[in-house]
Chain A
Amino acid sequence: MEAAALAITILWSLLFVYAILGSLDFGAGFWGMIYGKNNQTSASQIANRFLSPTWEITNVFLVIFVVSVVSFFPFATTLLSSILLVPVALGLLLLTIRTTFMVFEHHAQRFRELLRVTSGFTGLLIPALLVSILPITLGGFVEFENEYPRLHYGELLTHPTLYMHIAFGLTTELFISAVFLMDYAKEADDWSAYYTFRKHAIWLGPVSIAVAVLTIGTFPAEAAWIVENIEANWLWFGLSIVFFLIGYGFLFIKRTDGTRGWARLAVISIILQYGIAIYAYGSAHLPYLVYPVLTVEEGFADPSMFYNMLIIYSIGFGILIPAFILFWRLFLKDRRYLKQE
């Protein structure tokens, strides 16, 4: 593969990882808020137990993504930063509020309610802001004035596609996190939480797929190019829907012990579904980073830096694999952690 193509593939994979981790993280924050005051189910505790040790790692993946954009595609920084300054800066403000309040919540009983509601709401607002970057790259919202790119907020904010993208982002976030937390609750043998999350997964699944399909219908006129590419890629999108159906089906299977749902297999299928969809969407987006002003090729720099970075990546993740395994064992498998009071 060519260096630039390899670079965008790696970047896209990082986006995929962050999309999944971020959905789990922000979704858990939201469920933690919804069920915080409810004594019927321990859904909130389960969500928070997952969140406490993992949010830092999720955050690092956000940073990896940003650093990789700049270092793989240095010639894209000028354009991207001018059009994304405001949405991304606002996202940073919210993210800071969320991160700090979420941690402070553990240390100040008295303000629990206020802190929890804040971190729950930002768990919806941040993904909404992040997905609103997607329509910007489709074309029609960026224009050059005196050789300087400007984002047309008026047009963006009044265009239905923005709101469909946000709806799509939020429904998938909540669906993925509900299915995952179902599995997490099962590891912890916590059936009240399990059935709570299952209930939500069941209605969120079809809604998220419906919204995703409808979103494509609202793409701006300038985005005809990507709609064409998506249609040409229909096989992959179809495969993604097949995995959705498989995963959704696993929610209903009755097990020998009488419980309903095969949570682990559902999670895996749903992650495969999103993986396929994200790569299919990514390849439909090529060759543009931002249509029509910036292509992948134009953003890419000298390959020697890129190959050095690949070496750093391999060494870095190589060193970290044992640490991740230890982490997995301690927080996602160890009953002593999962079942604590």
Chain B
Amino acid sequence: MDVVVMARALFGTSLGFHIIYATLGVGLPVMIIIAEVLYLIKKDSDYALMARRWTKGFAILLAVSIASGTIVGVLISLLFPNFMEIVGQVIALPFQMEIFAFLIEAVFMSIYLYAADRLPPSLRIVSIISVAIGATASAILITDVHAWMNTPAGFNITPNGDITDIDVWAAFFNPSFGVTAIHVTLSAYMTVSFLIASIAALRLMRRKLSAAERNYHKKALMIALYFGALTSLATAINGHETAQMLHEYNPRKLAAAEGLFETTRYAPLSVGGYTSLEDQRVKYAIEIPNGLSFLAGDRFDTEVLGLNEWPQELWPPLYVHVLFNVMVGIGTVLILIALLALFWKHVLKKEFPGWMLAVLVVSGPLALIAIEAGWCFSCIGRQPWTITDVLRTGEAATKSNSVNILFYLFLILYVTLLFVTGFIMRHYFKRNPVSNDLAKGSS
């Protein structure tokens, strides 16, 4: 197959794999801080236990997130050298700063993991907070490069491809950096909340459970639900701003996201369905009148540009509409789930029924799907450009024809690692069940 297609496939797959672990790596330290702080306030040893068990899970996942991060970090230069040639001149700063974020995370993670028992509690909290800062900073900094690819700034390019007038800080603070960084951070936090809710709900569905265990899992579930409700609401509000950023700086992507062909005021929002090229509209969708205009500009009469403003060769693949819908749809559903569960608990003051636990079990995997869909939407929606309106993907990629074999080798590696991490997690937590730890704590 075509070398460029294989390079994109290899890199896209690698990122899709890395992001699973990376998202967890960004969110979990924050959950651990919450548990540590609750322990300090409430002096309830269940929270200390929670922090310890989550840390164990984190340590297992971190290995894969660092390994896969090293892969994507090196592959990006190997597969897209012409892209990196420009990155090196214009937007190398976030890459460099990210290194220090990694170092902070790595140093303090080792300290928190292997020296916790030799540290006073205050230094322990400082360590885990540093881990969280390192992880979130690395997510924000790498997102900066991604944002710059979507809304490039800080340089000029001459017709023969030379880069001039470089302003590294203008590139750093490119127009979409702020909103995008917040969106990525919040969505990572929310995903981890729902994953923790999933696990706790799964445990609570078991029949044979001692009162102590039930209590423990309920506390975990409540932390996850509160934090999940908060972050999912914030993600949606900020997602709205992200869409407005697209309207302003990247209207072609917004048009593709919504399958809008003709430029119009009072544009409707199409939910669901798929974009049909022949019919020039989204088929089988539910239309919310004026919705898109409102999303783009907070007014029903906002003019939204349609795809026909650009030649067809500059359109991204039309299926990005589906990816966008999956992200927004899941975001909406998760807000509803979290609010309903909190309503049940605090207003109805009842135990969660089995069906609600079942719904909570799927909430975590749903959030991960939203992350994947969102990233794929953002990167595929940028096509055919790697740097919007500056560098085409076909020109950015390597010409080495060994990429083919490498793609299959890496694919095998990722599939294997997904199974192996799942297996090791199960194996470890089966051999060290909560009941054991609870028994140890009370004796």
Does A52 touch B at the CB level, under 8 Å? yes
Does A324 touch B at the CB level, under 8 Å? yes
Complex Cα distance, B388 from A260, in Å, reads: 65
**Of B194-202, B206-214, B406-414, the one with at least 4 CB within 8 A of chain A:** B406-414
- B-facing mask of A97-116, CB < 8 A → 1, else 0? 10110111001101000000
Complex Cα distance, B66 from A62, in Å, reads: 12
Complex Cα distance, B410 from A227, in Å, reads: 39
Q: Are B106 and A95 in contact, CB atoms less than 8 angstroms apart? A: no
| Residue ID in chain A nearest B80 by CB atoms | A81
Q: Are B118 and A330 in contact, CB atoms less than 8 angstroms apart? A: yes
Please tell me the size bucket of the interface on B. 35 or more
Once A70-B77, A74-B85, A304-B168 are accepted as A-B contacts, the answer to whether A103 and B59 lie under 8 Å apart by CB is yes
Chain A residues positioned under 8 Å from B62 (CB to CB): 56, 103
- B-facing mask of A58-93, CB < 8 A → 1, else 0? 011011101111111111011011101110110011
Q: Are B168 and A85 in contact, CB atoms less than 8 angstroms apart? A: no
Does B402 touch A at the CB level, under 8 Å? yes
Chain B residues positioned under 8 Å from A77 (CB to CB): 77, 81-82, 84-85, 88
Complex Cα distance, B82 from A326, in Å, reads: 41
Does B97 touch A at the CB level, under 8 Å? yes
Complex Cα distance, B89 from A51, in Å, reads: 36
Chain A residues positioned under 8 Å from B427 (CB to CB): 107-108, 110
Q: Closest approach, in angstroms, between the C-beta of B165 and any C-beta of chain A?
A: 10
Q: Pick the contact of B166 from A52, A54, A305 — CB < 8 Å?
A: A305
**Of B107-115, B297-305, B435-443, the one with at least 4 CB within 8 A of chain A:** B107-115
Chain A residues positioned under 8 Å from B103 (CB to CB): 57, 60, 316, 320, 323
Does B343 touch A at the CB level, under 8 Å? no
Does B104 touch A at the CB level, under 8 Å? yes
Q: Are B100 and A331 in contact, CB atoms less than 8 angstroms apart? A: no
**Of B67-75, B220-228, B361-369, the one with at least 4 CB within 8 A of chain A:** B67-75
Q: Are A66 and B73 in contact, CB atoms less than 8 angstroms apart? A: yes
Once A60-B102, A312-B96 are accepted as A-B contacts, the answer to whether A88 and B78 lie under 8 Å apart by CB is yes
Once A305-B166, A327-B107 are accepted as A-B contacts, the answer to whether A67 and B63 lie under 8 Å apart by CB is no
Does B173 touch A at the CB level, under 8 Å? no
Does B60 touch A at the CB level, under 8 Å? yes
Does A233 touch B at the CB level, under 8 Å? no
Q: Are B74 and A92 in contact, CB atoms less than 8 angstroms apart? A: yes
Once A305-B89, A320-B100 are accepted as A-B contacts, the answer to whether A104 and B107 lie under 8 Å apart by CB is no
Does B399 touch A at the CB level, under 8 Å? yes
Q: Are B84 and A74 in contact, CB atoms less than 8 angstroms apart? A: yes
Chain A residues positioned under 8 Å from B113 (CB to CB): 53
Chain B residues positioned under 8 Å from A53 (CB to CB): 110-111, 113-115
Complex Cα distance, B65 from A59, in Å, reads: 12
Q: Closest approach, in angstroms, between the C-beta of B173 and any C-beta of chain A?
A: 14
Does A256 touch B at the CB level, under 8 Å? no
Task: Kindly identify, within residues 81 to 100 of chain B, every residue whose CB is under 8 Å from any CB belonging to chain A.
Answer: 81-82, 84-90, 92-93, 95-100
Q: Are B413 and A93 in contact, CB atoms less than 8 angstroms apart? A: yes
Chain B residues positioned under 8 Å from A73 (CB to CB): 88
- Of A57, A99, A104, chain B has the most CB atoms within 10 Å of the CB of A104
Once A103-B60, A305-B166 are accepted as A-B contacts, the answer to whether A71 and B96 lie under 8 Å apart by CB is yes
| Residue ID in chain A nearest B7 by CB atoms | A85
Q: Pick the contact of B115 from A148, A317, A331 — CB < 8 Å?
A: A331
Once A85-B400, A107-B424, A331-B115 are accepted as A-B contacts, the answer to whether A304 and B88 lie under 8 Å apart by CB is no
| Residue ID in chain A nearest B123 by CB atoms | A326
Complex Cα distance, B93 from A293, in Å, reads: 28
- A-facing mask of B385-410, CB < 8 A → 1, else 0? 00000000000001110110010011
| Residue ID in chain B nearest A98 by CB atoms | B67
Q: Pick the contact of A63 from B88, B99, B398 — CB < 8 Å?
A: B99
Q: Are A337 and B115 in contact, CB atoms less than 8 angstroms apart? A: yes
Q: Closest approach, in angstroms, between the C-beta of B413 and any C-beta of chain A?
A: 6
Does B5 touch A at the CB level, under 8 Å? no
Task: Kindly identify, within residues 309 to 341 of chain A, every residue whose CB is under 8 Å from any CB belonging to chain B.
Answer: 309, 312-313, 316-317, 319-320, 323-324, 326-327, 330-331, 334, 336-337
Q: Closest approach, in angstroms, between the C-beta of B93 and any C-beta of chain A?
A: 6
Chain A residues positioned under 8 Å from B403 (CB to CB): 85
Q: Pick the contact of B106 from A57, A75, A148 — CB < 8 Å?
A: A57
Q: Are A78 and B85 in contact, CB atoms less than 8 angstroms apart? A: yes
Does A39 touch B at the CB level, under 8 Å? no
Q: Closest approach, in angstroms, between the C-beta of B408 and any C-beta of chain A?
A: 12
Q: Closest approach, in angstroms, between the C-beta of B360 and any C-beta of chain A?
A: 27
Q: Closest approach, in angstroms, between the C-beta of B407 and any C-beta of chain A?
A: 10
Q: Are A81 and B106 in contact, CB atoms less than 8 angstroms apart? A: no
Does A302 touch B at the CB level, under 8 Å? yes
Complex Cα distance, B23 from A187, in Å, reads: 39
Does B420 touch A at the CB level, under 8 Å? yes
Q: Closest approach, in angstroms, between the C-beta of B403 and any C-beta of chain A?
A: 7
Q: Closest approach, in angstroms, between the C-beta of B305 and any C-beta of chain A?
A: 34
Does B64 touch A at the CB level, under 8 Å? yes
Once A77-B81, A82-B81, A309-B92 are accepted as A-B contacts, the answer to whether A89 and B75 lie under 8 Å apart by CB is yes
Does A40 touch B at the CB level, under 8 Å? no
Q: Are B59 and A85 in contact, CB atoms less than 8 angstroms apart? A: no
Complex Cα distance, B102 from A159, in Å, reads: 39
Chain A residues positioned under 8 Å from B398 (CB to CB): 81-82, 85
Q: Are A56 and B99 in contact, CB atoms less than 8 angstroms apart? A: no
Q: Are A312 and B97 in contact, CB atoms less than 8 angstroms apart? A: yes
Q: Closest approach, in angstroms, between the C-beta of B209 and any C-beta of chain A?
A: 24
Q: Are A86 and B402 in contact, CB atoms less than 8 angstroms apart? A: yes
Does A301 touch B at the CB level, under 8 Å? yes
Complex Cα distance, B214 from A334, in Å, reads: 40
Residues of B within 8 A of A (CB): 56, 59-60, 62-64, 66-71, 73-75, 77-79, 81-82, 84-90, 92-93, 95-100, 102-104, 106-111, 113-115, 118, 130, 166, 168, 398-400, 402-403, 406, 409-410, 413, 417, 420-421, 424, 427-428
Q: A73-B88, A104-B60 are in contact. List 7 more A-B contacts (CB 8 A).
A: A60-B99, A82-B399, A85-B400, A302-B89, A305-B89, A308-B168, A312-B96
- A–B Cβ pairs within 8 angstroms, 28 of them: A56-B106, A57-B110, A59-B70, A60-B102, A63-B74, A66-B73, A67-B73, A67-B92, A67-B99, A71-B88, A77-B81, A78-B82, A78-B85, A81-B79, A85-B79, A86-B400, A92-B70, A93-B409, A95-B70, A96-B67, A96-B413, A97-B413, A107-B56, A107-B427, A110-B427, A327-B107, A327-B111, A334-B118
Residues of A within 8 A of B (CB): 52-54, 56-57, 59-60, 62-64, 66-75, 77-78, 80-82, 84-86, 88-89, 92-93, 95-97, 99-100, 102-104, 107-108, 110, 148, 301-302, 304-305, 308-309, 312-313, 316-317, 319-320, 323-324, 326-327, 330-331, 334, 336-337
